[in-house]
Chain A
Amino acid sequence: MVMGIIFKTVNYTYQPSTPFEQKALKNISVEIPTGSYTAVIGHTGSGKSTFLQHLNGLLRPSSGEIVIGKQIITPETKNKELGELRKHVGIVFQFPEAQLFEETVLKDIAFAPKNFGKNEEEATAIARQMARQVGLKEELLLKSPFELSGGQMRRVAIAGILAMEPEILVLDEPTAGLDPKGRLEMMEMFKELKEKQNLTVILVTHQMDDVANYADNVIVLENGRLIANGSPKKIFAQPKWLIEHHLALPKAGEFAVNFEKKTGYKFETLPLTESDLASQIVKMVHGGVQNG
């Protein structure tokens, strides 16, 4: 199924008409293309998590509408109309391991498919398959999820979301608290899942290196407004604009900017990943240095 997401002048207000009224999303119009890997960046309070909760109807807009596949969500949409949508959009919240509850890893992963109408046997089969997908070894499946390490528990929680067989996978800071090796493995796993299962991935992150290395589309929020949308190349093209909005460059870009400042040499295009930076440097060493 084609599951593009379109926000049309979406506003969201918390506790409207009370002294605590707070506008969290302001006139957001944006499209998240099917099959894209979209990063959502912005500071605490920028509206990221409010935005995210609109993606499967946990929150409905105060005004405006959201189109996700065939489903249109308006302020009037009833909760019971959203059941179908929630099978298609899987959200992995921060520290998802806190939501594990079943006796065994396998039962925990099988919970969602059972809940969405699969029988015991089908649900178990799906759970086994998803456990493999996230790299959980067979011998862990009958253990209690609470006996596992933090990284393994997180994999169980993610497998539980994947077991819903969503078309859209939303990830809220999925690597927080993991060590660098775990972080890299997890990010590579999402990349592989996306390619194998043709998922649309939406990643909320403040790691600009992850944005440069994995995303092909970026949404920047500030104080509930959309302030930029485009490819990482476009978003990171103006270091000055980034500083004004308290956003950082990926490390490779930062290094390149510092290098240019100090030496006067110029890169052809601002490199955003280590490999791009390295190959540009090698090219420059073998001749073709531009002294600006």
Chain B
Amino acid sequence: MVDMIEIKNLSFKYSQQDGQTFNDFNLKIKQGEWLAIIGHNGSGKSTLARLIDGLLAPSEGAIFIDGIKLTPENVWDVRSKIGMVFQNPDNQFVGANVEEDVAFGLENAAVSREQMLVRVKESLQRVNMWEFASHEPARLSGGQKQRVALAGVIALRPKIIILDEATSMLDPEGRKAVLDIIRELNHKEKLTVISITHDIDEASKAQRVVVLDDGKLIQDDKPEKVFSRGSDLVKIGLEPPFSEKLKGELESLGLVVPEDYLTEEGMINWLWELFSRQ
């Protein structure tokens, strides 16, 4: 498959005083891939997202988006291929109602009025928020707000969606609703998804997980491989999966536990077997 994003020998630092955030960093992300980036606060995740979106420029090296090298001249064009959803649902609203909010980005991109009406409806239907089109943002729940933010992004038909801790302030229902929509976009439309997250449920949806620590790529693997780090996960900024935490507790109480990563389902089966063997 084609590379949607290629980061080549990237170096970056914020200012003269600060240390290097990235030093000769390399990463390729394929078209249609769902990649999770994890790491503790300050590990460089959000900086990397901003570099990919051209909000920051590398000191050295290059970033290719959909085959095009990002330069100060083409950053506006290239950025139109990327949609970002941020953490706080309350900071992303500009419109007086849901419909206007989704239309805002399209107006900026000089889309015709006819096209705009079509795309606003289409996008809001995609995120199951069309019936709220005339609602005020203030009355929506956090999950509904993030779905509207997502509609604003997909109305622009990006090839890449970056979720920067986009579900961290949502309750479990809201989180599930947002992730279900992302999964559909990823599957059906082959959208490339990059999710920056501390949430194990969100990371487990990815096909590939990249672990950052102080700007270095310390692991690049399938989710279950990364999750089998157990209690070590906290150090790299991820809440360990519940089954791993339970395993740790059981071990400290003297039970012999399997070494491999177990999902919750796997954990239940293992315990069931243990019980019935008595």
Residue among A177, A180, A184 making CB contact with B87, cutoff 8 Å: A177
Whether B76 is near chain A, meaning CB under 8 Å from some CB there, is no
Chain A proximity of B146: nearest CB distance (Å): 12
Q: How far is the CA of A182 from the CA of B198 in the complex (A)?
A: 11
CB within 8 Å of B: which A262-288 residues? 262-263, 265, 274-275, 277-279, 281-282, 284-285, 287
A177-B169, A180-B239 in contact; A285/B246 too (CB < 8 A)? no
Residues A263 and B242 in contact, CB atoms below 8 Å apart: no
Residues A176 and B169 in contact, CB atoms below 8 Å apart: yes
Residues B249 and A179 in contact, CB atoms below 8 Å apart: no
User: 19 A-B residue contacts at CB 8 Å?
Assistant: A43-B141, A95-B88, A173-B169, A179-B198, A180-B233, A180-B234, A180-B237, A180-B238, A181-B40, A182-B41, A206-B171, A255-B246, A262-B272, A263-B271, A274-B249, A275-B249, A279-B253, A287-B278, A289-B278
Whether A246 is near chain B, meaning CB under 8 Å from some CB there, is yes
Q: How far is the CA of A281 from the CA of B198 in the complex (A)?
A: 28
Residues A45 and B139 in contact, CB atoms below 8 Å apart: yes
Q: How far is the CA of A92 from the CA of B250 in the complex (A)?
A: 36
Q: How far is the CA of A262 from the CA of B198 in the complex (A)?
A: 30
Q: How far is the CA of A278 from the CA of B235 in the complex (A)?
A: 23
Closest 9 CB pairs of A and B: A278-B249, A44-B141, A180-B239, A179-B237, A179-B41, A251-B242, A206-B171, A282-B253, A263-B272
Residues B237 and A181 in contact, CB atoms below 8 Å apart: yes
- Contact mask A125-159 → B, CB, 8 Å, 1/0? 00000000000000000000000011100000000
Q: Which residues of A contact B271 (CB under 8 A)?
A: 259, 263, 281
A45-B139, A206-B171 in contact; A263/B275 too (CB < 8 A)? yes
Q: How far is the CA of A285 from the CA of B254 in the complex (A)?
A: 11
Q: Which residues of B contact A180 (CB under 8 A)?
A: 198, 233-234, 237-239
Known contacts A277-B246, A281-B271, A289-B275; 4 additional CB pairs below 8 A are: A173-B169, A177-B165, A274-B245, A274-B249
Chain A proximity of B141: nearest CB distance (Å): 4
Minimum CB distance partner of B237 in chain A: A179
Residue among B41, B233, B234 making CB contact with A178, cutoff 8 Å: B41
Q: How far is the CA of A178 from the CA of B172 in the complex (A)?
A: 17
Whether A71 is near chain B, meaning CB under 8 Å from some CB there, is no
CB within 8 Å of A: which B237-258 residues? 237-239, 242, 245-246, 249-250, 252-255
Q: How far is the CA of A95 from the CA of B89 in the complex (A)?
A: 13
| B contact residues, total (Cβ < 8 Å) | 39
Minimum CB distance partner of A44 in chain B: B141
A258-B264, A265-B275 in contact; A179/B250 too (CB < 8 A)? no
Q: How far is the CA of A144 from the CA of B148 in the complex (A)?
A: 36
Best-buried of A177, A181, A282, A284 by chain B (most CB within 10 Å): A181
Whether A237 is near chain B, meaning CB under 8 Å from some CB there, is no
CB within 8 Å of B: which A38-68 residues? 43-45
Whether B142 is near chain A, meaning CB under 8 Å from some CB there, is yes
Whether A30 is near chain B, meaning CB under 8 Å from some CB there, is no
Q: How far is the CA of A287 from the CA of B233 in the complex (A)?
A: 33
Q: How far is the CA of A181 from the CA of B275 in the complex (A)?
A: 34
Minimum CB distance partner of A258 in chain B: B268
Residues B171 and A43 in contact, CB atoms below 8 Å apart: yes
Q: How far is the CA of A274 from the CA of B252 in the complex (A)?
A: 12
Whether A82 is near chain B, meaning CB under 8 Å from some CB there, is no
Whether B9 is near chain A, meaning CB under 8 Å from some CB there, is no
Q: How far is the CA of A173 from the CA of B87 in the complex (A)?
A: 14
- Contact mask B119-135 → A, CB, 8 Å, 1/0? 00000000000000000
Q: Which residues of A contact B87 (CB under 8 A)?
A: 177
Q: Which residues of B contact A226 (CB under 8 A)?
A: none
Q: Which residues of B contact A178 (CB under 8 A)?
A: 41
Minimum CB distance partner of B144 in chain A: A44
Residues B42 and A181 in contact, CB atoms below 8 Å apart: no
Residues A177 and B40 in contact, CB atoms below 8 Å apart: no
Residues B249 and A277 in contact, CB atoms below 8 Å apart: yes
